Amino acid sequence: MYILGVSCDYHDSSAALLLDGQLVAAASEERFSRRKHDSAIPSLAIAWCLKHAGIQARDLGYVVFYEKPLLKFDRILATSVDYYPRALPFFREALLSWFSEKLWIKSRLLKTLGVPSERILFCEHHMAHAASAFYCSGFPEAAILTVDGIGEWATATIGEGRGREIRLPLEIRWPHSLGMLYSVFTAFLGFEVNEGEYKVMGMAPYGAPRYMDKVWKLVRASQDGAIELDLDYFSYHVTPRRAFSAKFLGLFGEPRSPYAVDQDQHYADIAASLQKVSEEILLRMARAATSRNGSKRLVMAGGVALNCVANGRIQDEAGIDELFIQPAAGDGGASLGAALWAWHTVLGRPRGTPLRHVSWGRAVPTREIQTELEVTGASGVALKSQEELLDRATEDLLAGKVIGWSQGRFEWGPRALGNRSILADPRRGETRDLVNTKIKFRETFRPFAPSLTEDSAARYFDQPLECQPTAKFMLRTAAVRSDMRIRIPAVTHVDGSARPHLVERMANPLFYGLIRRFGDASGHPVLLNTSFNLRGEPIVASASDALSTFFRSGLDVLYLENYRIAKPVSG
Ligand SMILES: [Fe+2]
């Protein structure tokens, strides 16, 4: 039976297709529509999933939506009543979008897919997050922690999974939300909410957490994982226009300008303080989740589970043996959870194989590359074998070139894990600024991740990363060994940490081969890896995206499947 999971209408819409409980295709809509964080009904991603499986919509056993719209609407109504009349502007705007579109998701899905209405199911939002984490983990039992900004009412849940059963008995409810706390500071620091949270995390190591006591004024956290915000500091629950109140500004001063380019110590210190407090809260939640049912295993999902620094601390300090975080932990990954929930919980089918890799998107066919090369007039050389591809790419990397690398099916989740990546030699310190400014056109403080062969992790990190799924999916930070920091400066953050991506030979043989070959020649089986996109754009998906990004950036060479494409020599 085919089951299609769908998420949309908030941000990062996506589709995920299962066949008899096993994932066959999954993709974010933004990769096809080219609109970053596209929240529209994911008709392009759905059409591609169906085409990939060779089926029509009428062949779908179920279509499962990643939240319950009526429950969410109930929360909006109740909030408006609770905070009347302050919440009037919020309510007015919410009503418009809900009555014009969101409430009618069932009929919109029916219209898009043409399936009978009894085949459409709705899964509670945090259950979708929980299901995506637990069912993909492969763990027979585990504690479950989900944390995000907001779903219907819940903003965090704690529970457990056993076999195919999931229970989420504890929840924190709107407007109390750790995700919202982080997002409010994201807005205050001049970044876009639901996008700039990574930037806050990247900024934090440049600051000192000297405002932690001020951040603690905003939030009370107990040892059992519960949190309560002091709502006097916030206004996100009453107006869509501003997230923080005058009282908040009284504590932290004027917001950082969205156009600020230079690093300002005051704001970096605020970012560092927020990050530290968030880590403390998440650690308490993680400990509460595991101690509740005595499990040594924890699974996590929800947008906040993409906080790599906190994840590193949970992995190392929460007293657990195993941690699994669904690589598409945000709302874009909840479509997968919704589909898995239908298969295991509604239909009661047994567990399947765990999620071992993220290569679930569309691959670029050769004929598409040939057509694009003709259209653009770019000169591409078809390499004859994988050996030649690896040789040439290694040569380019050793010569200091920055390469675009588009191979196989694009990744599920926000991270580029060697299928749609920009790669460079990590031994050159200057590479970092070069890639940030000339290639990705973004802030110079943004860090890059090292992709390294799994078997060489112990050489670069003290933590036992080899067995950790969080390191395989680039979901945690870890301290680079002090003697190695000067060896791979382009991927070591200012505080000596890095966000490692351990590459398994089985999970991605071609990328593993490239890192291995680079290591044989350079002595370091490590590559600088960042997502193949320009600032503000989705990661490339098609041949046309890859070529267009290549020509609009300072990238030196593009490896698009077996084609090596260079830029014409000017002058
Ligand atoms: Fe969510």
Please provide the DSSP assignment of 503-557 as one string: EPTTT-HHHHHHHHHHHHHHS--EEEEEESS-TTSPPP-SHHHHHHHHHHS---E
Confidence of residue 85 (pLDDT cuts 50, 70, 90): low
Rounded average pLDDT over 104-116? 83
Q: Determine the distance separating the centroid of ligand 1 and the alpha carbon of 153, expressed in angstroms.
A: 11
Q: Determine the distance separating the centroid of ligand 1 and the alpha carbon of 143, expressed in angstroms.
A: 18
- Please tell me the pTM assigned to this model: 0.94
When mean pLDDT is compared across 92-106, 172-186, 512-526, the lowest value belongs to 92-106
**Bridge partners, 453 (sequence order):** 503
Rounded average pLDDT over 461-468? 92
Q: Determine the distance separating the centroid of ligand 1 and the alpha carbon of 331, expressed in angstroms.
A: 5
Confidence of residue 81 (pLDDT cuts 50, 70, 90): low
When mean pLDDT is compared across 207-211, 335-339, 541-545, 565-569, the lowest value belongs to 565-569
Question: How many CB atoms are located within 10 Å of the residue 554 CB?
Answer: 14
Distance CA 485, CA 498 (A): 10
Q: Determine the distance separating the centroid of ligand 1 and the alpha carbon of 82, expressed in angstroms.
A: 23
Ligand 1 is an ion; residues with CB less than 5 A from it: 148, 331
Helix/strand/coil percent split, the chain, to 5: 45, 20, 35
Q: Determine the distance separating the centroid of ligand 1 and the alpha carbon of 265, expressed in angstroms.
A: 32
Q: Determine the distance separating the centroid of ligand 1 and the alpha carbon of 129, expressed in angstroms.
A: 7
Q: Determine the distance separating the centroid of ligand 1 and the alpha carbon of 522, expressed in angstroms.
A: 42
pLDDT, one tens digit per residue, over 149-158 is 888 789 999 9
Distance CA 427, CA 319 (A): 35
116 vs 237, higher pLDDT: 116
- Answer whether residue 96 shows pLDDT above 70: no
Percent of the chain exceeding pLDDT 90 equals 77
State which amino acid sits at residue 399: A
Q: Determine the distance separating the centroid of ligand 1 and the alpha carbon of 7, expressed in angstroms.
A: 10
Q: Determine the distance separating the centroid of ligand 1 and the alpha carbon of 309, expressed in angstroms.
A: 19
Q: Determine the distance separating the centroid of ligand 1 and the alpha carbon of 72, expressed in angstroms.
A: 12
Q: Determine the distance separating the centroid of ligand 1 and the alpha carbon of 343, expressed in angstroms.
A: 20
Q: Determine the distance separating the centroid of ligand 1 and the alpha carbon of 10, expressed in angstroms.
A: 9
- Answer whether residue 83 shows pLDDT above 90: no
Distance CA 318, CA 372 (A): 50
pLDDT, one tens digit per residue, over 339-397 is 999 999 999 999 999 999 999 999 999 999 999 999 999 989 999 999 999 999 999 99
State which amino acid sits at residue 106: K
CA distances from residue 501 to 295, 472, 516, 558 in whole angstroms, order as listed: 27, 5, 14, 22
- Answer whether residue 571 shows pLDDT above 50: no
CA distances from residue 284 to 220, 292, 474, 542 in whole angstroms, order as listed: 12, 12, 23, 43
As a whole number of Å, the CA-based R_g of the chain is: 23
